[in-house]
Amino acid sequence: MKTHSLYLLFLLGCSSAFSQNPRLIAVSGLVLELTEGGQKAVPGVTVSVAGQDYDITDQEGRFMLHLSAEKNEAIVVLEGCPYPMVSPFGGKIYLPPSGELQIRVCGQENQKLRREIDALEKKVKNLESKRKLSERQLSGLHKAMLDTILHYQEALHQLNSTVVEYESSLRERESMVAALEEKLASVEQELFLALEEKYLRQKELMDAISTGLEQYTDQVKNLRDMLLPERISHYFLNEGARQQLYLAINKYNEARAYILNNHQSQVEGAGHYWASPDLARQLEETYRYILEEVHQKAVYPMEFSVNENLKLYLSGQLGRSRAAREAEKGAASAMAELSPRLETLEKKCADMIRQLSISL
């Protein structure tokens, strides 16, 4: 009785929080028990997300939760259900959901299906322990594999039913079942490996894109600091200062060359490994902004002005004072173009990395 009272207090607290927070999204779903050859609704089960909302499934197994729109994920818990949860993996859902949420459970009495599910969960947990894939990738892999298992289990069930109905062709039907079971094992393994490989390649591409964007942004800021107008005169007076400038220019050129040499293949990769075509278009626009707006219109004029006047001075074609003044003038003009573009660049790169990351 005491435990029940505490649970009611918890749920009342959740309901109070909903009334005070207008930023909620409605998540509808079903609780389904996996049975031999199909699935059926599970009524009377409490579906809850701690600290947010709960609902009790109706006769069709349906429920409705109102969850915070400010969160990207939540953990769903079942209470009063006699069967363990099979999916979503670890009870984790991602918000907002792409459609109606399905929570699937399976009892131990369904031994054949249970063995398949337990084997899948063991594989996914093994991958999880290696920390090569993100939680979203693991969840996607688990769902795809579970759907495949259920598809073939349903096919096997239908074939087995046919065997019972047509005993005269029992041997032939059993042969078909055996062949399908063999195909199922092969398809499961192939699909598992293919999905693992896909998500690994996706993560590698994500790392390459984010590293390139971050390195370029860092080198632009470093070069900007080196070419502030008040520092220009030092490069005409001090050999050591000039060498530091040349080093900064070289590092910037390396970061730009990486973008220039890899941007096309990375945009194509984003279109292949991410489901949303908008991400590939956004990445292409970010690279275009880097190469055309930032480099061509701001960084290159600033770098050229200082470099060219240094060459004229060091070759004796121009006096030091005049060369330094011309370099300062060119750098100041280019700096005015660079400052607003650099602020926009940082926002674009940070948003690009965030968008790719949350879609892993």
The pTM (predicted TM-score) of the whole model is 0.62
Percent of the chain with pLDDT over 70: 88
342 assigned to some structural domain: yes
Going from the C-alpha of 104 to that of each of 10, 29, 142, 219, 307, the distances in angstroms are: 25, 11, 13, 50, 66
Residues 9 and 158 in one domain: yes
pLDDT in tens, 57-77: 999 999 999 999 898 899 999
Percent of the chain with pLDDT over 90: 59
**Segment of 110-114, 117-121, 165-169, 329-333 carrying the highest mean pLDDT:** 329-333
| pLDDT at res. 24 | 92
The structural domain count of the chain equals 2
Residues 209 and 322 in one domain: yes
298 assigned to some structural domain: yes
pLDDT of residue 20 exceeding 80, the answer is no
CATH of the domain at 66: 2.60.40.1120
Residues 11 and 103 in one domain: yes
Residues 103 and 55 in one domain: yes
Domain that holds residue 123: 2-165
| pLDDT at res. 145 | 82
The residue among 287 and 36 whose pLDDT is bigger is 287
Residues 160 and 257 in one domain: no
Crossing angle of the two packed helices 320-358 and 300-314, in degrees rounded to 10: 150
Residues 141 and 252 in one domain: no
Residues 233 and 302 in one domain: yes
CATH of the domain at 326: 1.20.120
124 near 142, Cβ under 8 Å?
yes
pLDDT in tens, 91-117: 999 988 888 999 999 977 777 888 888
| pLDDT at res. 163 | 58
pLDDT of residue 300 exceeding 90, the answer is yes
Residues 220 and 88 in one domain: no
108 assigned to some structural domain: yes
| pLDDT at res. 46 | 96
170 assigned to some structural domain: no
Measure the CA–CA gap between 78 and 31, rounded to whole angstroms. 9
> pLDDT-derived band of residue 177, with 50, 70 and 90 as boundaries?
confident
Report the phi/psi class of residue 282: left, alpha or beta, with left for phi > 0 and alpha for psi in -120 to 50. Answer: alpha
pLDDT of residue 199 exceeding 70, the answer is yes
320 assigned to some structural domain: yes
| pLDDT at res. 161 | 65
